[in-house]
Every structure is written in C-alpha cells, then in structure tokens.
Amino acid sequence: MGSREEIVAAAAKVMREQGYAHATTKAIARAAGYSEALLYKHFKDKTEIFTSVLTERLPALGTTLDDLMATAADTPLAANLARLARITLSFYLESFPIAVSLFSSRELLATHREQVMSRRRGPDVPLTRVTEYLGEELRLGRIREDADLEASASLLLGACFQYAFLASFEDREPSEAELDEWAERLAATLVLGLVVSGK
C-alpha cells in the first residue's frame, strides 16, 4: 500500500475514533506513520482527506449506483432497491460516527460545507444519484409514470440515515442478517409506492 492509501486508511481510523472535528492533520499523519508535510503532498486539506475517506474507505455507494444504472434491467426492481438500501445502510453506519462532529460548531460546519459544495461532493450527491437511478427504472417502464422520484429517493436515503443514527446512538453494531432484512423491507415498501398507484 502506498503512502496515499495509508494516509486515507489512517484518516478513516482517526475520524471514526475522534470524529471529523478532532481528527487533526497532525494526528492523521502520526497514525499513518508519516510527516504532516507528506500528507500535504497528497492532499490539499483535511476536507480532501475526508472526501477521500468517504469515497475510498467506506462502502461504495457511488460504485453501486454506477453499476445499477448500467445493469438495472438485468435484475428485478425489488432486488435492485434492496441492494441499494443495503449499501446505503452500510455507508451511513460507517460515515455517521465520522461526520457527526461536523455539527459541533457552526463555524466548522459552514467552512466544511463551503469546501465540499465547491467540489461538488456534498451530502446532496447521493440524493441526486439515487433519483437518477430511479429515472433509469422509469425509462425501463418498471415504475409508474407519475412516481415522485426525488421523494422516493429521499425516503430510501432518509430511512437508511435514521437507522444509522439510531444504531450509533444506541452504540450497537447491527448484524449482517439484520441489515439484509431491513434493506429488503425498505425495498418491498418502496416498490409498493413506485409500482402500485395510490388511491
């Protein structure tokens, strides 16, 4: 593993243990076994390290969405949604302990928000991407024409986020079987709204 990958791995560990706010670049460099100067040869700032942790060390939500966009027709809608829910649950469970400390200071949150939004890496990206994926399912004729795609994406992501919040609050690590079951339940419920017209 090269120095960049080691820095990202160390950052993920430090951020999980201390949260984003307290994970200094000095602490990350120390955990990786490198100087802070070397860290800055690979990354512009801590925000860039954070986005690298989200995209490289956490469950691959973006990659899963890319794959679903390309292969949606190959799998039943409910199975696609369950897969999406399952990776989203894992992503939020892993990222919640890291990101929650961003909200400890209005100034920290404002600075971070400005940086991630300027890089188009903000928390709005999953909503946009899931909505686009549902648009592909609509194009395939597998969901009804009047379905509210953005609201459906919000329901899926919101349910996964709420689940991760509660698990983090309760300081428990859900089993793989529990996550699989919850993902299937979310998918089955969402299919009812996307396929069957409400009366």
3-state secondary structure 58-79: CCCHHHHHHHHHHHHHHCCHHH
pLDDT of 73-105, one tens digit each?
999 999 999 999 999 999 888 888 777 776 777
pLDDT at residue number 138: 96
pLDDT at residue number 198: 42
pLDDT at residue number 5: 86
- Domain ranges (residues) in the chain: 4-52, 58-194
CATH architecture of structural domain 4-52: Orthogonal Bundle (1.10)
pLDDT at residue number 153: 97
pLDDT at residue number 58: 59
Q: Is 199 exposed, middle or buried, given 0-12, 13-18 or 19+ CB atoms closer than 10 A? A: exposed
> What does pTM read for this prediction?
0.76
What's the angle, vertex CA 63, arms to CA 41 and CA 194, rounded to 5? 145
Shared fold status for 4-52 and 58-194: no
- CATH code that applies to domain 58-194: 1.10.357.10
Which residues of the chain fall short of a pLDDT of 50? 198-199
pLDDT at residue number 59: 60
DSSP state letter for 199:
-
